[in-house]
Amino acid sequence: MTPLVKLLTVKLVAAVFMTVTAVPALAQTTGPLKIEITEGVIEPMPFAAPAFVAQNSNARQLAEDLAAVVAADLIGSGIFREIPRAAHISGISNFDAPVQFSDWKAINAQALVTGAVTLRSNGQIAVKFRLFDVFAQAALGEGLQFVGTKEDWRRMAHKVADAVYSRLTGETGYFDSRVVFVAETGPKNARRKRLAIMDYDGANVRNLTDDASIVLAPRFSPDGNKVLYTSYETGMPRVFVLNLNTMRRRALDDLPGMTFAPRFSPDGKTVVMSLSEGGNTDIYTVNVASGKRSRMTSSPSIETAPSYSPDGRQIVFESDRAGSQQLYIMSANGGEARRISFGKGRYGTPVWSPRGDLVAFTKINKGRFHIGVMRVDGSEERLLTASFLDEGPTWSPNGRMLMFFRETRGANGAPSIYSVDTSGRSLKKVAIQGFGSDPSWSALLK
Amino acid sequence: MKRTLIGLLAVCVLALAGCSTGIPDSGANAGENFKQDSPQFFMASVGDRVLFAVDQSTLGAEAMSILDAQAGWMMQNGEFSAIIEGHADEQGTREYNLALGARRATAVQNYLVSKGVAAGRLRTVTFGKERPLEICSTEACWSKNRRAVSVVSAGGTS
Amino acid sequence: METGTYISGLGHVAVVGWAILGGAMSSDSQPPEFQVTDISVVSEAAFAALISDAPLIATNINQPSSPDVSEAAPDAPKAGELPQLSSFAQPEAPQAAGTSPDLASVKDSPRASAQTDAPQLAEQPTTDVQGATLIVPTAPLANRDRNGLKQPDQLAMIAPEPPAPRVDVTPAPKPPTDAEKAQEAEKATTPDPEASKPAEKADEKAPDQAATEIITEAKEQEKTAAPVRSSRPKGRPAKLAENSSAATGIEQAIAKDQAQTGNGAGATTPVRASVPSGPPLSQNEREGLRLAVRDCWNVNPTSDAARITVTIAVTMDRSGKPSGPVQFLSATEGSQAAKDSAFEAARRAVLRCGRTGFDLPAEKYDQWRDIEMTFNPEKMRRK
């Protein structure tokens, strides 16, 4: 039992108590009995994902693995909980046979995911699935089917999980997505860094650059085809853009000074970033095609870590103009900025949620680092994590999860990538080999 | 002067065992005496770095005296130029520390220029928290990582 | 002056020099190839073609490793009744075919889980022991053995349930990292001003009441892992329940008997009286129902669905179980997907917590045969 669970639980109980006493029952004389439920429970919904049905014998392993990846995806969201297969009363041996709902009710699986996979002789696989509401004894939505190469089997599982997530939550999923990040090796004082890309769950890690020079903070383009990042390959920090299709890279512009902290605008046509010149760091925008630049801020203070709102009209950034690192929002055309962070401590690395409603940030207070979210007007600040060093949040495509990196303390300290949902319920380390930092989450893949 | 140098070298050699920078140490073993117009002499004798307080880029009295010596050496050795690296400790976000490192490097640059070093001989670069010198996670290490280092070399700055 | 400084300084000359002279030349180094492959979503027809293309082996040869499958197989209706993938909505046929096992499960499954719960109940001093004895028959166990479920499996399922609502410590996927996750989980913080409020008050307000208790997994969690939650009010206050059972015990028994035997059809399609007769439900009775449903209403507090208030209609049989489908009546503003999700969560709440029958006074059946429940998540919501 973690402290957080206790908090939630106690709050729930207290709220329920108040509700029960506060709401008087109205006299019921005619018509149906009317009841209003104003409190429920907050807990992961139990589901079952039995092994998919292997439509031919050499698909058997695949059938196991597909269901396992689907389950892992759903669990990782914090919204769902798997009923372990060991507890299942029966499996699914025939995809088209009616489901024995009683077997699934008995183990309190509220949702059931069934699937079937066919491995064809040409190496392609075909996957289909259905989702059931066990207690309503009904299918939910339409089943889907996918065809792809065997190498893409994980993506197909992610697509199934996205469909399940979407049907059960009413929101789009985020599982079929990728993350670019910085893969780190070597000791703390001689760290070598290279860009790498992985599936959102840490599978299929592939390097994008060598580690000859320091690379920092890659950022996906909205279409997922390009990555902005900061590289020291010229001896000083400079923003580069890497085309993932051609694997060619180029300096974004030829500004004098040092450039870093780039991010694309939602339409992908503009990059907003920091330029440091003469010791002063300000925010600029650069047109990707023409290289034309505009200065967004001009003050002697530090202005950095800009991030566009999803409609492209505003930019949230950090500045120490008031004496310490705080968050501000300004028009995408520059001009006056309004401060949105007012809590104790310092705030940095703001990132606007793709839903538009929240800004995620790094907070430093009393020597501790937190990942948190607040509403765009600065209200309802909520800290989701705490550690020696948590930094650099990036939003899932649906704006429900965050990834960030956590660096451990001390001479052997090293960074790892974590994910957490916006209620702070499901903190999870993303399983990758080696050290990872500076994650940037892609949009959902097509 | 010479006694000071020898003392410093002794400290430096002693420190070798515990030195965990992993950087080749061509200078320390080379001998007890560097030529006055060598980068090694600049580092060992003049002092190539200044330290900063938390989240600050202002120069303290100690820093200024070191920079006075740096400026004097630069004035005497006109064929050298310097890249001034600004660094920060790990207790900050990556982007902010880059900006902070740039501030620190520029503070040093401006001071040297004010002491007569031609601006064209100086260039700044920030490493933020990317290249810590000391790796523990306490103030003892952080105080040494909040630094600006003047790296001199013969020839232009770029 | 400090120590390692000089060595590192030299190193910096080397590094920066190399970066400028050599490192900058690294542009032509070849990063590994990276490819994005598309997955196609195919039509039903194309899919069928693909499948038929492949050499299919009869599915009964492909039996997955689970031994339970063969047990389940005889119950499966004939292929003619199977739903088509394209018209995905599960037709009535499979449900009808599954009626008898489902009925059994409605009775048995909660009891079965109560079986393993008994020792834990006994360990809870605040829990009504009567609840345990009432809910633990021996028959379901035998039933389960017939289904080939081994008792250890059952225990394995229940014992490691994580404390709600955390997922990190779920027993399933990666044992080695669990400890670490749990540790990390400790670090997650959410400031909560109400955290210090004691839970005991709720306990005093409404002690556990046996008859309304439906042992769900959710409650398993409460009891095994979350003492604060286990003291939450459940069901009706005991006094009231005693009164009602003393007065109407026989009637109740008759009503239940009717519901379970020959009068099933009558119970599922009751004749609707436009004006219910008899005395209305007391406030305590209404709240007992409300609390019972609440325990199964799972809200995802950050979702869009948590912004939607949904009203459903359900018809109850005389034993207090929902009979017939739960119907959607209305919902407040939101996307259709969010409305669907909100409705389905409400439906699950009623069906799950109602599967052994809500504890409602039999003599007032006319008052609660038709119920409209409004699920308002306003207080649960978190952006």
Q: Do the domain assignments include residue A7? A: no
Domain termination residue (choose one: A128, A148, A169): A169
CA distance C173 to A203: 15
Domain termination residue (choose one: A111, A139, A169): A169
Q: What's the pLDDT tens digit per position in A417-430?
A: 999 999 888 899 99
pLDDT at C23: 38
Q: Quick one: which H or E segment has residue B151?
A: strand B147-154
Query: Any bridge partners for residue B151, and if so which?
Result: B83
CA distance C331 to C342: 9
Q: Is B131 on the interface with A (CB under 8 A)?
A: yes
**A406 and A356, same structural domain?**
yes
Mapping DSSP to helix (H, G, I), strand (E, B) and coil, where does residue A241 land? Answer: strand
- Domain spans of chain B? 35-154
Q: Is C34 on the interface with A (CB under 8 A)?
A: yes
Mapping DSSP to helix (H, G, I), strand (E, B) and coil, where does residue A274 land? Answer: strand
Q: In what side-by-side order are the strands of the sheet with A270-277?
A: A258-264, A270-277, A280-287, A293-295
> Which of B20, B95, B127 is opposite residue A349, by nearest beta carbon?
B95
Q: Do the domain assignments include residue C348? A: yes
> Using an 8 Å Cβ cutoff, are C304 and A137 in contact?
no
What domain count does chain C have? 2
**C336 and C222, same structural domain?**
no
User: What are the φ/ψ torsions at residue C86 (nearest 5 degrees)?
Assistant: -70, -40
Average pLDDT over residues A272-300: 94
Q: Position of tokens 């909205």? A: A222
Mapping DSSP to helix (H, G, I), strand (E, B) and coil, where does residue A342 land? Answer: coil
> What is the token pair recorded at A225?
């085809």
Q: Is B86 on the interface with C (CB under 8 A)?
A: no
pLDDT at C33: 42
**C293 and C224, same structural domain?**
no
- Non-local (6+) Cβ contacts of A223 within 8 A are A268, A443
- Name the range with the highest mean pLDDT among A7-16, A364-373, C293-302: A364-373
Mapping DSSP to helix (H, G, I), strand (E, B) and coil, where does residue A320 land? Answer: coil
- Non-local (6+) Cβ contacts of A379 within 8 A are none
CA–CA distances in Å: residue A61 to residues A86, A128, B56, C47:
17, 16, 59, 21
Q: What is the largest CA-CA distance in chain C?
A: 96
Q: Position of tokens 């705080």? A: A326
CA distance A401 to A393: 10
Domain extent for C339: 279-375
Torsion of CA A50, A51, A53, A56, to 10 degrees: -170
CA–CA distances in Å: residue A81 to residues B4, C157, C162, C172, C221:
68, 12, 9, 9, 12
pLDDT in tens, chain C (383 residues): 444 555 555 555 444 444 444 433 333 344 444 444 446 555 444 545 444 433 322 222 222 333 332 333 333 333 333 333 332 333 333 333 333 333 333 333 333 333 333 333 333 333 232 322 222 222 232 333 333 323 222 222 222 223 333 323 333 333 333 444 434 444 444 444 443 443 333 333 333 333 333 333 333 333 333 333 333 333 333 333 333 333 333 344 334 433 333 333 333 344 444 455 667 888 888 888 988 898 899 998 888 899 999 999 999 999 999 998 999 999 999 999 999 999 999 999 999 999 888 888 888 888 888 999 999 998 877 64
Specify the CATH number for the domain of residue A156. Answer: 3.40.50.10070
CA distance A362 to A305: 11
User: What are the φ/ψ torsions at residue A374 (nearest 5 degrees)?
Assistant: -145, 160
Specify the CATH number for the domain of residue C322. Answer: 3.30.1150.10
**Cα first-last separation, chain A:** 40
Question: Is C199 close to A13, i.e. CB distance below 8 A?
Answer: yes
Percent residues over pLDDT 70 in chain A? 93
DSSP string, A101-117: HHHHHHTT-SEEEEEEE
**A211 and A129, same structural domain?**
no
Checking phi first, is residue A160 left (phi over 0); if not, alpha (psi -120 to 50) or beta?
Answer: alpha
Query: Any bridge partners for residue B122, and if so which?
Result: B82
pLDDT top residue among A11 and A328: A328
> Which of A91, A98, A380 is opposite residue C69, by nearest beta carbon?
A91
Q: Give me the amino acid identity at C309.
A: T
Q: Do the domain assignments include residue A118? A: yes
Residue C28: DSSP 8-state: G
Residue B43: DSSP 8-state: I
Q: Do the domain assignments include residue A203? A: yes
Q: Is C57 on the interface with A (CB under 8 A)?
A: yes
> Using an 8 Å Cβ cutoff, are C231 and C127 in contact?
no
> What is the token pair recorded at C87?
């018209």
Q: Do the domain assignments include residue C124? A: yes
**C318 and C210, same structural domain?**
no
Q: Give the number of other Cβ atoms within 10 Å of residue A27's Cβ.
A: 8
**C287 and C224, same structural domain?**
no
pLDDT at C363: 86
Q: Do the domain assignments include residue C36? A: no
> Which of B23, B100, B132 is opposite residue A188, by nearest beta carbon?
B132
Question: Is A383 close to C42, i.e. CB distance below 8 A?
Answer: no
**A249 and A148, same structural domain?**
no
pLDDT at C249: 37
Q: Do the domain assignments include residue A381? A: yes
**C213 and C118, same structural domain?**
yes
Q: Where are the beta strands (DSSP E) in chain C?
A: 40-41, 310-316, 322-331, 370-375
Q: Quick one: which H or E segment has residue C100?
A: helix C99-123
Burial of A22 (0-12, 13-18, 19+ CB in 10 A): exposed
CA distance B130 to B124: 16
Q: For strand A238-243 and strand A226-231, is the pairing parallel, antiparallel, or unpaired? A: antiparallel
**A251 and A102, same structural domain?**
no
pLDDT at C364: 86
Query: Any bridge partners for residue A405, and if so which?
Result: A391, A417
Q: Quick one: which H or E segment has residue C244?
A: helix C238-260
**A223 and A98, same structural domain?**
no
Residue environment code for A341-370, b if the CB has 16+ CB neighbours within 10 A, otherwise e: beeebbbbbbbbbbeeebbbbbbbeeebbb
DSSP string, C40-61: EE--HHHHHHHHHHS----TTT
> What is the token pair recorded at A80?
């769902």
Q: Do the domain assignments include residue A155? A: yes
CA distance C150 to C148: 6
CA distance C168 to C161: 11
**A293 and A263, same structural domain?**
yes
Taking a contact as any Cβ pair under 8 Å apart, which residues of chain C between 335 and 354 contact chain A? 335, 337-342, 344, 346-349, 351-352
Least confident of A56-60, A402-406, B149-153, C1-5: C1-5
CA distance A362 to C167: 24
Q: Do the domain assignments include residue A1? A: no
Closest chain A residue to C278, measured at CA: A29
> Using an 8 Å Cβ cutoff, are B57 and B104 in contact?
yes
Domain extent for A292: 178-441
User: What are the φ/ψ torsions at residue A313 (nearest 5 degrees)?
Assistant: -90, -20
A101 contacts in chain C (CB < 8 Å): 95, 98, 102, 105
Closest chain A residue to B57, measured at CA: A279
**A431 and A351, same structural domain?**
yes
**A150 and A299, same structural domain?**
no
Residue C276: DSSP 8-state: -
Q: Do the domain assignments include residue C181? A: no
- Chains in contact with B, where contact requires at least 3 CB pairs less than 8 Å apart: A, C
CA distance A297 to A277: 13
- Cis check: omega of the bond before C32, within 30 degrees of 0: no
CA–CA distances in Å: residue A161 to residues A100, A174, B129, C71:
22, 9, 39, 29
> Which of B22, B57, B94 is opposite residue A216, by nearest beta carbon?
B94
Taking a contact as any Cβ pair under 8 Å apart, which residues of chain C between 239 and 268 contact chain A? none
CA distance C87 to A15: 43
**C222 and C106, same structural domain?**
yes
Query: Any bridge partners for residue A330, and if so which?
Result: A315, A337
pLDDT at A121: 86
pTM for this structure? Answer: 0.70
Q: In what side-by-side order are the strands of the sheet with A401-407?
A: A390-395, A401-407, A415-421, A428-429
> Using an 8 Å Cβ cutoff, are A235 and C18 in contact?
no
CA–CA distances in Å: residue A37 to residues C291, C311, C331:
8, 10, 14
Mapping DSSP to helix (H, G, I), strand (E, B) and coil, where does residue A180 land? Answer: strand
Question: Is C66 close to A90, i.e. CB distance below 8 A?
Answer: yes
> Using an 8 Å Cβ cutoff, are A213 and A237 in contact?
no
pLDDT at C5: 52
Specify the CATH number for the domain of residue A394. Answer: 2.120.10.30
Query: For A47-103, what is the HEC assignment?
Result: EECCCCEECCHHHHHHHHHHHHHHHHHHHHCCCEEECCHHHCCCCCCCCCCCCCHHH
Given a cut of 50, whether residue A14 has pLDDT beyond it is no
pLDDT in tens, chain B (158 residues): 444 444 444 444 444 433 343 344 444 444 457 888 899 999 989 999 999 999 999 999 999 999 999 999 999 999 999 999 999 999 999 999 999 999 999 999 999 999 999 999 999 999 999 999 999 999 999 999 999 999 999 876 55
**C222 and C133, same structural domain?**
yes
Q: Do the domain assignments include residue C41? A: no
What domain count does chain A have? 2
**A165 and A79, same structural domain?**
yes
CA distance C136 to A15: 32
**C322 and C206, same structural domain?**
no
Residue A86: DSSP 8-state: G
CA distance A248 to chain B (A): 25
**A125 and A58, same structural domain?**
yes
Average pLDDT over residues A312-324: 96
CA distance A76 to A65: 16
A34 contacts in chain C (CB < 8 Å): 371-374
Assign domain B35-154 to its CATH architecture: 2-Layer Sandwich (3.30)
> What is the token pair recorded at A281?
């760091």
Question: Is A133 close to C344, i.e. CB distance below 8 A?
Answer: yes
**A127 and A226, same structural domain?**
no
> What is the token pair recorded at C50?
């693909």
